[in-house]
Structure 1
Amino acid sequence: MPKVKLLPGAINEIMASVADKCPLTQSDRYGLMAAVLDDSLSEEERRSVDRLLRSVVKGRVQVA
């Protein structure tokens, strides 16, 4: 399996773009995948990713 590395501040940038009603881009989705696979996320970042994924499942966030 290839090594996936999350960019610093990526979660905050994704959350800010979604808050501005922008759809999730393919690069955002790759960032979320890296976040899910990253064991060094803080609890706050982990909760943010969980909230964002729940919003996608419920249809509140558009996926481009």
Structure 2
Amino acid sequence: MISICLLPTALPELFAQSSSTGRLTLADRYGMMATILSTQSTQEELHLIDRLLYGLRRGRIEIVDELSSVLTR
């Protein structure tokens, strides 16, 4: 069985980036999914996911089909 491990600061950074850009990328959605499926998710992490989903419902955040919002030059 494959084990999924997120970096400890991954979800807070994902939340901050999505909140500032108003976009949720494919990589962000996979990060959220990994957190939800993890048996070691903290209440704080689940609360951040709830806030992101609330932002989606209210139209403050949009789902985009880009892999990442990080710009490369």
- Regarding TM over 0.5, the answer is yes
Q: How much has 1:42 moved relative to structure 2?
A: 1.5
Q: Distance in 2 between matches of 1:57 and 1:20?
A: 16
The answer for the alignment partner of 1:58 in structure 2 is: 58
| Contact 1:6-1:38 within 8 A present in 2 as well | no
The answer for the alignment partner of 1:23 in structure 2 is: 23
1:4-37 superposed Cα distances (whole Å, 9 cap, x missing partner): 4333311111111022124111100100111111
TM-score (norm. length: structure 1): 0.78
TM-score (norm. length: structure 2): 0.70
Pairs aligned (count):
64
Unpaired segments ≥5 residues, structure 1: none
Poorly superposed stretches of 4+, deviation over 3 Å: 1-5
The answer for the alignment partner of 2:5 in structure 1 is: 5
Unpaired segments ≥5 residues, structure 2: 65-73
